[in-house]
């Protein structure tokens, strides 16, 4: 058991060019998906520009700032069938 635990040490972190390039590639894929998500949201042009600027300027923190908004928009869209229709609207 002691031998197994000694294999997993934080002291021997191996960061090389391949690890860094994969991390950068994954970040750019995540950034592209976030910007795509902003563009398909029901925002007006000003809100889309604002969120795109936040995501691009603040990097991973900008993506984290955008996450609750995307979550709320996704949840309200998929849960809209529970709402009662307003008066005068067809069922």
d(Cα 26, Cα 37) in Å, to the nearest integer?
Answer: 16
Identify the pLDDT of residue 17: 85
Identify the pLDDT of residue 91: 56
Mean of per-residue pLDDT scores for the chain: 81
The model's confidence at residue 5, banded by pLDDT at 50, 70 and 90, is: low
* H-helix or E-strand spanning residue 36: helix 17-40
Q: Burial, 55: exposed, middle or buried (Cβ in 10 Å; 0-12, 13-18, 19+)?
A: buried
> How far is CA 65 from each of CA 17, 29, 38, 48, 50, rounded to the nearest angstrom?
30, 18, 12, 14, 12
pLDDT single digits (tens) 32-66: 999 999 998 888 999 999 999 999 999 999 999 99
d(Cα 68, Cα 71) in Å, to the nearest integer?
Answer: 5
Identify the pLDDT of residue 10: 56
Identify the pLDDT of residue 36: 94
Q: What is the mean pLDDT of residues 18-38?
A: 92
Whole-model pTM above 0.75?
Answer: no
Classify residue 90 as left (phi > 0), alpha (psi -120 to 50) or beta.
Answer: beta
Identify the pLDDT of residue 70: 85
For 39, residues 6+ apart whose C-beta sits below 8 A from its C-beta are 48
């Amino acid at each position: 058991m002691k031998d197994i635990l000694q294999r997993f040490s934080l002291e021997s972190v191996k960061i090389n060019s391949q690890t860094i390039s994969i991390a950068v590639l994954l970040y750019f894929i995540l950034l592209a998906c976030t910007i795509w998500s902003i563009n398909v949201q029901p925002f007006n042009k000003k809100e889309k520009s604002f969120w795109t600027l936040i995501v691009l300027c603040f990097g991973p923190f900008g993506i984290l700032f955008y996450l609750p908004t995307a979550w709320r928009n996704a949840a309200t869209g998929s849960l809209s069938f529970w709402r009662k229709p307003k008066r005068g609207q067809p069922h």
